[in-house]
Amino acid sequence: MLTLFALALVLMFKRPAAVAESLPGAEVRLKSRDFVAKWTELEQARQRGDRAEARFTSGEINAALEQTLAEDSPSPSPHAAISGEPLPQARPARVLFAGDRVTGQFIANLRGKDVYLTLSGKLGTAGGYLVFDPLEIRIGDMPVPVALVKPALQAKLMEPETHARLKLPDYIADVRVAGDQLVVVEK
């Protein structure tokens, strides 16, 4: 029994293969601009009264997430630098689109140790909100039964603060993964 527990701990704290690699700074800026340009085209089509759709690659989404994190990260305080306090390191989630699934990988620091959470599932919309149906969950390299985690995950997604972040703009009719792209369809 102790051996199984030790194995579970090793698998939980093992660094899994990355779902997407970090991009060089110049490529992040370029792909982030591509993301913004496609979203702007979608909004302009709406203003003209045209129905449109935009397709985003994993690279564009990852770059936009990284760019947003870089812009939103506060500058380190002089006090933290002087006092020797560790500076928090925010790391963006990474996503990968394949088939009709999205896979996201998130990193949390748990008592000084990085813990990787990898979720794979289907994206969709319901009642003007983005919805996620998990199909595979891993902590580190350890698979976790979806049935064990799904109720807690769905409850977290329904918390008011989280739920508000999942609200789609009124002009978005559908969001789905097709092939290796995120497809956003306007009403």
| Strands 172-178, 142-144: pairing kind | unpaired
pLDDT at 40 over 90: yes
> DSSP string spanning 81-147?
HHHTPPPP-----EEEEETTEEEEEEEEEETTEEEEEEEEEEEEEETTEEEEEEEEEEETTEEE-HH
R_g of the chain computed on alpha carbons: 19
Give the tens place of pLDDT for each residue, 133-173.
Answer: 999 999 999 999 999 999 998 999 999 999 999 999 988 99
Give the tens place of pLDDT for each residue, 52-62.
Answer: 999 999 999 99
Question: Residue 112: is it exposed, middle or buried by C-beta count within 10 angstroms (0-12/13-18/19+)?
Answer: exposed
The CB density around residue 177, as the number of other CB atoms within 10 Å, is: 22
Q: Comparing 7 with 127, which gets the higher pLDDT?
A: 127
Q: Comparing 109 with 75, which gets the higher pLDDT?
A: 109
pLDDT at 12 over 60: yes
What pLDDT, on a 0 to 100 scale, did the predictor assign at position 138? 94
